[in-house]
Amino acid sequence: MKINENFLKLESSYLFSTVAKKQKEYQEKHPDKEVIRLSIGDVTKPLVPAVISAMHKAVDEMADESTFRGYPPEHGYDFILNAIQKNDYANLGIDIKTDEIFLSDGAKSDCGNIGDIFSVDNKVAICDPVYPVYLDTNVMNGRTDIIYLPCTAENGFMPQIPKDEIPDVIYLCFPNNPTGVTVSRKQLKEWVDFALKNNSLILYDAAYKAFIVDDSPKSIYEIDGAKKCAIEFCSFSKTAGFTGVRCGYTVVPKELVFNGQSLNPFWARRQATKFNGVSYITQRAAEAVYSEDGKKQTEDVIKYYQRNAKVIYDTLTNEGFKCFGAVNSPYVWMQTPNGMSSWEFFDDLLDNCQVVGTPGSGFGKSGEGYLRLTAFGNYEKTVEAVERIKSVYGKDK
Amino acid sequence: MKINENFLKLESSYLFSTVAKKQKEYQEKHPDKEVIRLSIGDVTKPLVPAVISAMHKAVDEMADESTFRGYPPEHGYDFILNAIQKNDYANLGIDIKTDEIFLSDGAKSDCGNIGDIFSVDNKVAICDPVYPVYLDTNVMNGRTDIIYLPCTAENGFMPQIPKDEIPDVIYLCFPNNPTGVTVSRKQLKEWVDFALKNNSLILYDAAYKAFIVDDSPKSIYEIDGAKKCAIEFCSFSKTAGFTGVRCGYTVVPKELVFNGQSLNPFWARRQATKFNGVSYITQRAAEAVYSEDGKKQTEDVIKYYQRNAKVIYDTLTNEGFKCFGAVNSPYVWMQTPNGMSSWEFFDDLLDNCQVVGTPGSGFGKSGEGYLRLTAFGNYEKTVEAVERIKSVYGKDK
């Protein structure tokens, strides 16, 4: 039996696991200290009442033979596909059919599994820094021909269209994880036009779209022609606090054709064969996010997190730190002080302030010298965390 | 962008989707007829009270900031891993550690995704007939060197150890889907010894173990040496009616070493990168299956289905049909009458009796001439279905 040796090329531990392990070790050594976690992008506010109520109702249905539901449709119940179509696409003037939407247990699974439907022999473009899943899953699949697109302070953290080589597959994520920057319609159109011209596929991660407050595109399909070149990943994790509930969806338009084959039936077949649908209770929970109450309640939670982003950004900027993101995004991308490396600052911050961030270098070498802070915490604790940072690294120090 | 052309080698539709489509079309043409479905292995009894109560409690925890849970641990919360370890392994005298157990959204996902951790260049042995996922996922991955192990009436539907070639990976499923037969300890030991001798990996699907009533092995790890050659897949779908809830687990022992590499960290890394854990509410539901009430209540449901299996088997056997399985299994493997092909009998049965089975040939060519009937229906409807079959195809006809 031959193992998949590509796994040996991976870093042995997943970035967020390493961060969690370091935090745990610190906490065990210092049980009296209160550690504040602005690291992993995990939400902290409870599920909203509309969602809770829908889940209780669905649980009760599962208790009664006449309303019990067994295997869900592999790609999602009509009620949730219709809600997504109407609220996330038709309302933006985008024509997406329900059989182009695939419900799943989360955008991470879909971003990771999407590589199943395309060949190992593709040149892949990935931003640097980047959400590690894009890179690691390609390495696992044996795709080692990677074009890195550096995102630095010099280019406003916006990936530049490669000049010397043509990528077959391009991963883009806006609002961006980890840098927190958003793409404009004009910038996104350049990528779509490039993909159409070169027969490239864009994999567009829109997991953070709920944080957009200006007129930045919420979907790549707002750009003409995108249905012929892009797959879009969305998630309820950040929109509605579903990190512990697990639900997302992926859009694969039928017009997306490569080598004469529409990718839509490829993904449909992949999911029908290697996945068995999403919990009925979770699907009802997701549906409730689109109810009138659900929308209002989840918007309030987003606003709460946006206030956190603002207080992190404003406080640190006032103290002379160079920070990016925070608008249209739950992430603040903070330059480390005194030329420290990302992991040096991570350790220093944990030791001195008991604040956990995510080292920028963990997202790629262009992330070196940065730390990602997230706005998903409790407001008071977030204020406390930035006050601690101010007291140790602020301009008076 | 180059697509994964292996997908073009697949049958265009997944077996159960085709069956569902035919049923739907029939029902639309004949809205007045009551179709009884003994096809897909989907349960019909509601979740038991212990599970319902645990889910309501977990939903309430998700409504409160102090008890809310975000991202679950990627491989499962300790509470459920401990319950699995104790009840499914320690109680059988098997020493499996909690970090060798990986909770997931179902055995189908795991059976489908496991191929990620081994090389495309492996010779794979698969029973014929077989659960289509094993074959289809290998085809998708580009593994076309397949050894089919025919399971026929002549060999008691028991796969025979291949004489001429050595498989690298061997899929086994007991109690078997679709034939319903169970392996004895002696037979399973032969496979384990063969794998150990030849450095092969056994992928053991134990999704139906809750149906075992005699002393057949409930886990491959009951066999000495299996921890050095086998991965085991388990599911709550059939044990506790979780088909609509989605939960299963996979055991990858640390002693499982190939090419000098333990497969345990490979699967841990695969799951941590391409999966984000199971819903907290679902994990609490699974935990409740192992509570005192949960055990008693789920056993009663299993007994209910076992009575269905018995009535199908006894009635059809009395009518002169050749049937297999039904003991230790929710499946009855029925030979078609009058030399009909599987799909001919499927269509005939739908037209004449409004009963839906699953065509044996859909599981592989050695399944031709058989139909799989399942015991997961309502008892009265199951009786009605076999009475209809008796009235059209019985010995008096």
Digit-coded pLDDT (tens) for A250-302: 999 999 999 999 999 999 999 999 999 999 999 999 999 999 999 999 999 99
- Tell me the residues of chain B between 264 and 303 that have a Cβ less than 8 Å away from chain A: 265-266, 269-270, 272-282
Per the CB < 8 A criterion, the answer to whether B138 and B120 are in contact is: no
* Residue B278 with chain A: CB contacts under 8 Å: 246
CA A377 to chain centre: 17
Element (H, E) at A239: helix A237-240
Pairing of the two strands B201-205 and B248-251 = unpaired
- Tell me the residues of chain A between 144 and 173 that have a Cβ less than 8 Å away from chain B: 168-169
Per the CB < 8 A criterion, the answer to whether A140 and B273 are in contact is: yes
Cα separation, B159 vs A19, whole angstroms: 47
Nearest CA in chain B to A167: B1
Q: Tell me the mean pLDDT in the region B76-103.
A: 98
Task: Give the other-Cβ count within 10 Å of A215's Cβ.
Answer: 9
pLDDT of residue A152: 97
Residues 6+ apart with CB under 8 A from B278: A246, B72, B76, B103, B104, B105, B246, B247
Q: Is the pLDDT of residue A133 over 80?
A: yes
Shortest Cα distance from B151 to chain A (angstroms)?
Answer: 23
Q: Tell me the mean pLDDT in the region A81-100.
A: 98
Q: How confident is the model at residue A13 (pLDDT cuts 50, 70, 90)?
A: low
Chain A contact for B244, CB < 8 A? yes
Residues 6+ apart with CB under 8 A from A130: A171, A173, A178, A363, A364
pTM, full prediction: 0.96
Put simply, the answer to whether A244 touches B10 (Cβ < 8 Å) is: no
Put simply, the answer to whether B279 touches A275 (Cβ < 8 Å) is: no
Residue showing tokens 């017009």: A255
Shortest Cα distance from A327 to chain B (angstroms)?
Answer: 23
* Residue B259 with chain A: CB contacts under 8 Å: 1-3, 5
pLDDT of residue B20: 87
Q: Is the pLDDT of residue B195 over 90?
A: yes
Element (H, E) at A56: helix A49-61
Q: Is the pLDDT of residue B40 over 80?
A: no
Q: How confident is the model at residue A18 (pLDDT cuts 50, 70, 90)?
A: confident
- Tell me the residues of chain A between 28 and 87 that have a Cβ less than 8 Å away from chain B: 40, 42-47, 49, 52, 55-56, 59-60, 62-65, 68-72, 74
pLDDT of residue A52: 98
Q: Tell me the mean pLDDT in the region A174-190.
A: 97
Residue showing tokens 């950040």: A238
Residue among A1, A109, A280 minimizing CB distance to B118:
A1
Q: What's the pLDDT tens digit per position in B130-159? A: 998 999 999 999 999 999 999 999 999 999
Element (H, E) at A370: strand A370-374
Cα separation, A323 vs A301, whole angstroms: 23
pLDDT of residue B319: 95
Residue showing tokens 């883009």: A172
Chain B contact for A228, CB < 8 A? no
Chain A contact for B15, CB < 8 A? no
- Mutation to test the B interface, candidates A229, A274, A298, most B Cβ within 10 Å: A274
Residue among B117, B277, B279 minimizing CB distance to A279:
B279
Q: How confident is the model at residue B18 (pLDDT cuts 50, 70, 90)?
A: confident
Nearest CA in chain A to B57: A56
In this complex, how many residue pairs, one in chain A and one in chain B, have their CB atoms less than 8 Å apart?
A: 240
Q: Is the pLDDT of residue A69 over 90?
A: yes
Q: What's the pLDDT tens digit per position in B198-222? A: 999 999 999 999 999 999 999 999 9
* Residue A52 with chain B: CB contacts under 8 Å: 59-60, 62-63
Put simply, the answer to whether A14 touches B269 (Cβ < 8 Å) is: yes
* Residue A47 with chain B: CB contacts under 8 Å: 62-63, 68
Q: For residue A75, count CB atoms less than 10 angstroms from its CB and return exposed for 0-12, middle for 13-18, buried for 19 or more.
A: buried
Chain B contact for A24, CB < 8 A? no
pLDDT of residue A20: 87
Put simply, the answer to whether A1 touches B122 (Cβ < 8 Å) is: yes
pLDDT of residue B11: 74
| A207-A213-A219 Cα angle (round to 5) | 40
* Residue B168 with chain A: CB contacts under 8 Å: 1-2
Put simply, the answer to whether A1 touches B199 (Cβ < 8 Å) is: yes
Put simply, the answer to whether A274 touches B43 (Cβ < 8 Å) is: no
Shortest Cα distance from A248 to chain B (angstroms)?
Answer: 11
Put simply, the answer to whether B45 touches A63 (Cβ < 8 Å) is: no
In one letter, which amino acid is B244? Answer: G
Residue among A7, A46, A117 minimizing CB distance to B7:
A117
* Residue B137 with chain A: CB contacts under 8 Å: 273-274
Chain A contact for B198, CB < 8 A? no
Residue showing tokens 């052309």: B5
Put simply, the answer to whether B55 touches A281 (Cβ < 8 Å) is: yes
Residue among A70, A105, A275 minimizing CB distance to B243:
A70
Q: Is the pLDDT of residue B173 over 90?
A: yes
Q: Residue B214 has what DSSP assignment?
A: S
Alpha helices in chain B (DSSP H): 15-29, 49-62, 78-84, 107-113, 132-141, 185-198, 237-240, 263-274, 280-289, 292-318, 342-353, 379-393
Q: What's the pLDDT tens digit per position in B248-287? A: 999 999 999 999 999 999 999 999 999 999 999 999 999 9
In one letter, which amino acid is A355? Answer: V
What was the ipTM of the complex prediction? 0.95
Average pLDDT, rounded, for chain A:
96
Put simply, the answer to whether A117 touches B5 (Cβ < 8 Å) is: no
Q: Tell me the mean pLDDT in the region A171-176.
A: 98
Q: Tell me the mean pLDDT in the region B87-102.
A: 98
Q: Tell me the mean pLDDT in the region A343-353.
A: 97
* Residue B375 with chain A: CB contacts under 8 Å: none
Q: Is the pLDDT of residue B242 over 80?
A: yes
Cα separation, B204 vs B187, whole angstroms: 14
Residue among B10, B140, B274 minimizing CB distance to A109:
B274
Q: What is the 3-state secondary structure (H, E, C) of B274-322?
A: HCCCCCHHHHHHHHHHCCHHHHHHHHHHHHHHHHHHHHHHHHHHHCCCC
Peptide bond into A175 cis (omega under 30): yes
pLDDT of residue B12: 65
